[in-house]
Amino acid sequence: QHIMAQAGGSVPITSLTLEQLSVLKEQVTEEAQGLAQSLQKLSVAKNKVQDAQITVDTLTPQVEGRELLVPLTSSLYVKGNLAKNETVVVDIGTGYYVDKTPKQAHDYYDRKLALIQDSFLKVQQALAIKQKNLQSIESVMRAKMQST
């Protein structure tokens, strides 16, 4: 039950005052909330990539010429026809797009999903540590309040 001090060492949380523990609890709570928000954003990103991959996987020669809705913005769509599906435009981030075959796009999305999953697991582990730290802080605070 130690915490990291600013100088890089650690301090036993039992040596902190109730005021210091309260400040520490608030800080750890904010950090845990930030990690939880990161998990939510990663989950949304994962869903978007999975949706894009499913869409690419539906592009077969049989769907050429079919009518579809083309998104212009997140809420505005126009009718269009699927002319050729030999290549697709893939958003690779920060406003950059590249042409890829549907197979290359599928493989790209596989790699992107693996990266997102790896990040998700790391953030999840960090959140678990923060929650454990928070429980320790609360336990010490309760003990100090009962002894006064």
User: What pLDDT, on a 0 to 100 scale, did the predictor assign at position 114?
Assistant: 98
Q: pLDDT tens digits, residue range 6-57?
A: 445 677 889 999 999 999 999 999 999 999 999 999 999 999 999 999 989 9
Give 47-81 pLDDT, tens digit per residue: 999 999 998 998 877 788 888 888 888 889 999 88
* CA gap 57, 91 in Å, rounded: 16
Residue 14 sits at φ, ψ, to 5 deg, of -70, -20
Per residue in 86-131, pLDDT (tens digit) is 889 999 989 899 999 999 999 999 999 999 999 999 999 999 999 9
Q: What is the pLDDT of residue 9?
A: 60
Cβ within 8 Å of residue 87, ≥6 positions away: 99, 100, 101
Q: Give the residue ranges of DSSP H helices in 3-101.
A: 18-57
